[in-house]
Structure 1
Amino acid sequence: MNNQSQNLMTLDLEALASNLDYTKHRAGPEKRMIASIKANAYGHDVSLIAGALHEKRVDMLATGNIDDARILRACGVDTPLLLFAYATAENTVNAAKEGFISTVPNLTSAISLDAMTSVPIPVYLKIDCGLGRLGAPLSIAKDFVTKVYQLKNLKVEGIYTHVPFSDVASSPWAQGKLDQFDKLVEELESNGYSIPVTQAMGSCCVLAGLRDKSNAVCVGHALYGLSPFSSEQAPTFHDLRPVVHSISSTLIHIGHHKKGSDIATGGLYGTESAHNVGVIPLGLAMGMRAPIGNKEMVVLVKGKRCQIMAVSLEHITINLDNVENVAIGDRVTIIGRDGDESISLQELAYAWQVTPLQALMSMSGRFSVRSI
C-alpha cells in the first residue's frame, strides 16, 4: 500500500450542487454559468468535480490547463470548455483542433494566431479591468476588440474580464469596474459587434450582491464553499457548504515511551511522564506543513483532539496520550468530523497562517480522492 492510498480526501458532491444552485440564485436565472475548474478544481479533483458539474448542465467549464481539458474529454465530459490564456499561438491552434475555445489576451497574440490558421477558430477576448495580469486594458479595449473582429480567421464568441477584490469594503470599486465593462460592451454592440457571451462577475461580485449587464458569470471559490474574501465578511458566504468533506490518514506506528525517555521529535528530552506517540504517512512531501509560531495544530483520533508533535518529510508524529484503545490502522482525521469533534479547513489554514485555498493547493493531487 503506497502513501497516497493510505491518505484520503473525500468530496461532498451534494455540497457542490447546492453551492452551484445558490450561486445561480444569487447571480440571477438569466445568467449563463461558467464554472472555473482551474488548478485541479481549486485543489479538489478536476475529474470528479467536472463530471458533477457536467451532470448539473453548467453552460461552460474553464481551466488554464489543456491536459486537464483532455482528461475531461476522455472521461466523456463534453461541456463546452474555455481555456484561460495559457499558450503560444501554435498551441492555441492545436487546442482549437481538439474542440477547445482559447483566450486571446492581446492584439499581438491575435495577429499571430490569425496568421497561423486558414480555418476560423473560436476565441474569447480578455479585458483587464484592474487586476493587472492578463488582457487588454480598458483604456484600449474597444480598439483591441474591433481590430480582432477584423481578423478573418478569428471568430469572437465572447469577451470577459476578472474583477477581484478581497475586502467587502471594496465593493464600490468593483461595481465601478463592472459599470465600465458594461459601457464597453454597450459601445461595441451599438457599433454593430454582436458578442454572444459577456462575463465580468465572479464569486466575490456574486456574493457581495453586485450587479452587471453581462449575460454570464464565472464562479470558482463559491462553488467549492471557499470564501473569496480575506475573512468571512459577506453574510452570503455562510449559505455555502464546503465541498471537502474530510482529509484523513492511517496510523502506521504507535510508540510507547516510558518516563524519562528521550523523544527528540517533539523536543521531549527526559520526559517527566510516559507518552504514547503515533505516526501517520503524511508529511511535507504530501503538502503538509508545521504550524507557524505557537499556533496549535491537531488531528482527531477516535474522536479525541491530538496535538501534532512534528511534521517531517514523509511523516507526522502525534501525541496519543489522551486516546484509549488506539491501534495501528486506525483512521486519523486531518479535516472533518470524528465523533463530537471536528476540524475545519479554516482551522488547519490558521495553523499554517495561509488562506484555506492555499492550504488546499499545497495538498492538491497528493491524496486518493473519492466522493461520499
Structure 2
Amino acid sequence: MQPQMHYATWAEVDLGAIAGNVRFFRKTTQRAVMAVVKANAYGHGAAPVARAALEAGASWLAVARAGEALELREAGLAAPILILGYTSPARWMELIRAGVSLTVWSEAQIVEMAAAGRQAGKPAHLHLKVDTGMSRLGTKPEQAPLLAEKIRKLEGVLFEGIFTHFARADEADPAPTDAQSTRFRKVVEALEHAGMRPPWVHASNSAGTLRRPEAWYDLVRVGIAMYGLEPSRACPLPETIRPALAWKSSLAMVKTLPPGRGISYGHVYTTTRDERIGTIPVGYADGFRRIEGNVVLVRGRRVPVIGRVTMDQIMVQLDGVPEAQVGDVVVLIGRQQEECISAEEVAERWGTINYEVTSGLAARVPRLYIGP
C-alpha cells in the first residue's frame, strides 16, 4: 500500500523495533519488564504496542488513567496492568473487577479501596508509592512500613507492590538519584526485616534501567526507551535500540511563484525571486508546532518550512529539490535516504522534549503498523 494515496498525513510504527527494544531490556537486566503504554503509548498506539511488547517478553503494562487500562482490557489483553498515578474513587470498582492494579499513598485510600474490594468480591491489588524525591505523588519513606502493614491486615486489598520514581536519573549528576535510591532501599530493607516485602518492588524508569542496576529490583519500568527515544541528551541509548515511529505526509501541490508573493497567514515570508513552493497537508491540528524554523525531508533532502504553520497545511521552499513533484513522500520525523530528522531534533527545535513530540501526535493522524 502507498499511504500517500490514502492519507494526508500518517505515522508508521515499527512493532519489530518495539519488540527488539523490549528483548534488549529483558536480556540486559534479567528482570521483568513493565512496558509503559500511557498516553496512547507515547503517541504510538496503546493496544498494538502493548501486544507487541508482551509478545516480546514484557510481563506488565503500565498506564496513567483508568480509561487507558480499560481500553487494553477491551482489546483482549489479560496481562497485569498498573495505573501509575491517581484514580478517581468512582472507577475503583470497575478496575478491581477488571483485574487492574492500583497505586496508593495514604491510609484513607487503602481503607476505602479495601471496602471497594470487599464489595467487588475480589481484592484490590495495590502498589504503594513512596515519594523519595520526585515530590509529586507518594507517601513519605518513614510512613511506608505503617501503610504496608495496613494493607496486609485489611480484607479486600492485596499488597502486590511498592515503588518510587526517579526525578533526575537522566541527568549527568548522579547525586540526586543516589539520594533517592538510598531512601527507597532503606524502605525495602525495613519491609524485608519485618517480613512484609511484596512480590513486586520497582524503581527504575528508562534512565534508571539504563544506568542503575542497583535499582532494578524485581522489574524495570521501560517507557521512552522502549520506543527508541532517548531519555535525554545526557542519557543516550545503546546503538542496539531502534526508534519505532516515523511521521510522514506528501506533497499536495507544487507551484512556482513570482517575486513579492506572500506565503500563508500574515505573509511573514515573501518570495524574493521566482521560487518553487510546495504545499503539504499537515498542520498544528496534527501536532506539527506553529513555530519558525521547521524543516522536513523531500527526496532525502532537508527543505525549510516557510510562512506560518496553519491548522491543516504547511508550505515548503523547494528550490533545493528541483525534481520534487506532487505525490512525493515528505518525512517530518524519521529517515529518508541518507538524511534523518529525529524526534529529539524536533524537540530541540520546538523547545520541548521528545516525549511531548510523539505523544502530541493528534488522534486524526492514522497509525500504520509494520511487523513485527
Q: Same fold (TM over 0.5)?
A: yes
Partner of 2:32: 32
Summarize the alignment of residues 7-22 of structure 1 with structure 2, pairs less than 5 Å apart. 7-22=9-24
Q: Secondary structure of the equivalent of 2:173?
A: helix
CA RMSD of aligned residues (A): 2.4
Matched, 1:298 2:295: yes
Residues 66 and 91 in structure 2, CA contact (< 8 A), matched pair in contact too: no
Letter of the 1:290 partner, please give it.
Answer: R
Separation in structure 2 between the aligned mates of residue 212 and residue 258 of structure 1, nearest angstrom: 62
- The two structures have a TM-score, normalised by structure 2, of 0.89
The one-letter code matched in structure 2 to 1:368 is: P
Listed as ranges, the gaps of 5+ residues in structure 2 are none
- Pair 1:268–1:183, CA change in 2 (3 A): closer
Deviations along 1:328-369, whole A, 9 cap, x unmatched?
A: 222211112222322222222222121111211222534111
Partner secondary structure for residue 282 of structure 2:
coil
8 Å contact kept, 1:127–1:161? yes
Distance 1:319 1:251 in 2: 12
Q: Give me the whole-angstrom Cα distance separating, in 1, the residues matched to 2:273 and 2:39.
A: 46
Q: What amino acid maps onto 1:20 in structure 2?
A: V
Q: 2:203 aligns to what SS in structure 1?
A: strand
User: Contact between 2:101 and 2:127, CA under 8 Å: does it hold in 1?
Assistant: yes
Residue pair 2:4, 2:329 contacting (<8 A) in 1 also: no
Residue 155 of structure 2 corresponds to residue 121 of structure 1 = no
Matched residue SS, 2:168? coil
What is the CA distance between 1:183 and its match in structure 2? 2.3
Conserved 8 A contact 2:148-2:196:
no
Q: Which moved more, 1:344-353 or 1:321-330?
A: 321-330
Q: Separation in 2 of the partners of 1:300 and 1:176? A: 44
Match of 2:25 among 16, 23, 26: 23
1:333 aligned partner, one-letter code: V
Distance 2:199 2:173 in 1: 30
Deviation, 1:178, is: 2.1
Equivalent position of 2:87 in the other structure:
87
Instruction: Say if 2:175 is the partner of 1:178.
Output: no
- Separation in structure 2 between the aligned mates of residue 80 and residue 155 of structure 1, nearest angstrom: 14
Residue 242 in 1 paired to residue 248 in 2? no
Deviation of 1:257 (Å): 1.0
Amino acid at match of 1:304: R
Partners of 2:104 and 2:128 within 8 A in 1: yes
Q: Given the alignment, which residue of 313, 318, 329 partners 2:311?
A: 313
Equivalent residue for 1:275?
275
* CA displacement at 1:2 relative to structure 2: 12
Alignment of 1:1-372 (within 5 A): 5-27=7-29, 29=30, 31-118=31-118, 119=121, 120-165=123-168, 167-212=170-215, 214-229=217-232, 231=233, 233-234=234-235, 236-244=237-245, 246-263=246-263, 267-269=268-270, 271-291=271-291, 296-309=293-306, 310-372=308-370
The verdict on how the C-alpha distance between 1:276 and 1:236 changes in structure 2, with shifts beyond 3 A counting, is closer
CA distance in 1, matches of 2:295, 2:4: 24
**For residues 89 and 165 of structure 1, do their structure 2 counterparts lie closer, same or farther at Cα, with a shift above 3 Å needed?**
same
Give the conservation status (yes or no) of the 8 Å contact 1:258–1:274. yes
Structure 1 201/4 Cα, relative in aligned 2: closer, same or farther at 3 Å? farther
- TM-score, length-scaled by structure 1: 0.89
1:301-324 Cα shifts (integer Å, max 9, x gaps): 222321100311221111122223
Q: Secondary structure at the match of 2:214?
A: coil
- Whether contact under 8 Å (1:149, 1:156) holds in the other structure is yes
Question: Structure 2 counterpart of 1:300, which letter?
Answer: L
- Unpaired segments ≥5 residues, structure 1: none
In 2, are the aligned partners of 1:260 and 1:272 still within 8 Å (CA)? yes
| Contact kept? 1:163, 1:200, Cα under 8 Å | yes
Contact 1:90 1:116 in 2 (8 A): no
